[in-house]
Amino acid sequence: MSSMPSPSPQIVRRVERLRKELLDHDYRYYVLAEPVIADEDYDRLMRELQDLEGRYPVLRSADSPTQRVGGEPTKQFASANHNPPMLSLANTYSEEEIRDFDRRVRELLEGEKPVYVAEPKFDGVAIALTYREGVFVRGATRGDGTQGDDISNNLRTIRSLPLRLRTKDPFLMDLEVRGEAFMHRTDFEAMNEQRETAGEKSFINPRNATAGTLKLQDPKLVAARPIQIFAYFLFAGRKRLATHMENLRILRSLGFPVNGDAQQCTSIDQVVAYWENLEARRDSLPYDIDGVVIKVDNLRQQDILGTIARSPRWAVAFKFASRKAETQLTGITLQVGRTGTVTPVAELEPVFLGGTTVSRATLHNIDYIRELDLRVGDVVVVEKGGDVIPKVSGVVPGRRPAGAKRFTMPAVCPVCGSGIYRTEGEANYFCENAACPAQVKGRIEHFASRPALDIEGLGEAAVEQLVTLGLVGNVADLYALAGKKKDIVALERWGEKSAQNLLDAIEGSKTQPYHKVLFGLAIRHVGTGVAKVLATEFPSIDALQEASPERLQSTQQVGPTIAESIAHFFGDRHNRNVIRRLKEAGLQFTTAAPRERKTLAGKTFVLTGTLPSYTREEAAAIIEQNGGKVSGSVSKSTTYVLAGDDAGAKLAKARSLGVRVITEDEFKTLVQ
């Protein structure tokens, strides 16, 4: 491959300017929540920097904002030692216990009066961040407190994490910062809806989702997840630090997100008042907390107090109690989610709990009801623990009325009347009617998403408007919007140009291939990969629709669960009607006949790096259309490695094995 050109001084200055400007915009957007440019302007700057770094790889650096997209997947996380150790906190649950903590602190300080700092105790994942010469070099999980996993590439994708510190103080260039990774509830719920629409398993709660995400071995997947951080600990060996509260101010000045609810307390009475206030406000916070952390503010006093076992004597967690109440179960109704999940809901005699009046609570699924042996009329225990959503957690023994009946799951959807079903091995029932009013918005958003029909301009807000005002009721209605342009222009935040852009994008989506349309239909468990397999095995939607479960299961990657889901989807008359209308609108429901000329037959390709003209998906499609195969790893049986800019470990392995490496131009010659 030819040597790369050297950048001119003007190019070097431009790259530095772009890098500084983009990092500053990241800080303003993700830390200060005060953006000063539009998203499209930010994207334009990012594309320019990516282009320059692509042309001049020598200009790439670890602190460049282009590096947030994630590198190559890793097979195993390296170990990372913690010095000083990441200690765990002792827990207290009552005012009496927190006052006892204060007494012990004052006794050990022998007359010195402590000042405390009270902060929210985030329900997330503890992380440690290391900086050298002002640049982020390592990030790790807590692990056992003395050793965790090095997850630097994953943490680097979090946009609120500064890749370069905002300081010129030479004593603050080498330091360690500790904090919490977490997700906002709204981001978590939106992510779960997308996963359910794609037939993927949803996460239990934001903490579970954050922990699972940070242990993914592909940073590109991490970059797509909505993880945030708060910093709350600073260790700078070269700078004399005085108080924890001062450290929080320093962390904020360095560019870290720092929670604004931290408060100095000059007495234990103020600590208790802070705990009571935060407990009352916890439901209004955008993230989950499970208590308050109390720390002695003075760092010299912290050293005097020291540690015991693996917990500091100078800090403690003041946990919130699980909130429970007793009330009567007056009925069980069904709620249909945006992805078709049919969830039983407890209708309750209203009861005041955790600052709000609760009259409904989740019952999760029919198995949960049977496990608790719930019956209408029972006196039940309603609880708000770490979750904001109340749940029924038990039945009060001995208070069941005579004649109380067990709940039986209905056979039809309570919203649209279509049949509902549960696949063997799954906990939930589902309504598969794509036109069910309870699911319309979620299905349209999925249909318009990039992996599906990729309809630009049809995001959540636009879908909300179009559905709420009755302009669309299912995905087929999108293709009738051309006759309703005046109605769209009349909507808030719309105009002649934006309406026409949307209509053009909808019209353009008609050229999307069959497998993308198939994925866009949101058949449960049919993701992008399975959709491609099905489109190849069943070259028309008619063939797929008529296939028996046995025929479906004979297809690679299609097991009993997917086969049953497909059969249920096509067995619904509403879905068949939507597909008929999409056909009439001109969408692609057949796979183009394969080219007779198989120029790449018998050849195996591995793709690495960024190609000038193709995405990896596009290059892979060309290879497969020409009879070749695409593999994810290099071996002696690999014919070619197609390498673009920023090629990584696969390129090195190809050279070590003697596998031929080709450029995009050479690739184009092969497929002519």
Catalytic site residues? 121
Angle at 487 between CA 486 and CA 492, to 5 degrees: 110
Q: How many CA atoms lie within 13 A of 70 on its CB side?
A: 19
Per the DSSP assignment, residues forming a β-bridge with 149 are 79
CA distance to 459, 591, 599, per residue, from 536 (Å):
30, 7, 19
| Continuous H helices in 170-328 | 185-197, 206-214, 219-223, 244-254, 268-281, 299-305
d(CA 445, CA 451): 11
- The DSSP secondary structure of 31-60, one letter per residue, reads IS----S-HHHHHHHHHHHHHHHHH-GGG-
CA distance to 123, 180, 377, per residue, from 211 (Å):
11, 11, 39
The two structure tokens encoding residue 227: 């993880």
**H-helix or E-strand spanning residue 320:** none
Q: Give the chain's radius of gyration (CA, Å).
A: 29
Tokens 């005060």 found at: 34
d(CA 471, CA 455): 17
Strand locations in 71-124 (E): 79-81, 91-92, 116-122
d(CA 362, CA 344): 7
d(CA 181, CA 198): 25
Angle at 469 between CA 465 and CA 475, to 5 degrees: 70
Residue among 373, 325, 329 nearest 348 (CA): 329
The two structure tokens encoding residue 451: 């992996």
Longest dimension (CA), the chain: 90
The two structure tokens encoding residue 576: 């068949």
CA dihedral 407, 408, 412, 413 (to 10 degrees): 30
Tokens 């997100």 found at: 257
Residue 268 C-alpha from the chain's centroid: 39
The two structure tokens encoding residue 56: 């001049």
The two structure tokens encoding residue 617: 């998906």
| Continuous H helices in 509-615 | 514-520, 528-537, 541-546, 549-553, 560-570, 573-585
d(CA 299, CA 614): 56
Angle at 446 between CA 444 and CA 449, to 5 degrees: 110
Cα-Cα-Cα-Cα dihedral sign, residues 450, 456, 462, 466: negative
Per the DSSP assignment, residues forming a β-bridge with 386 are none
Tokens 């408060």 found at: 263
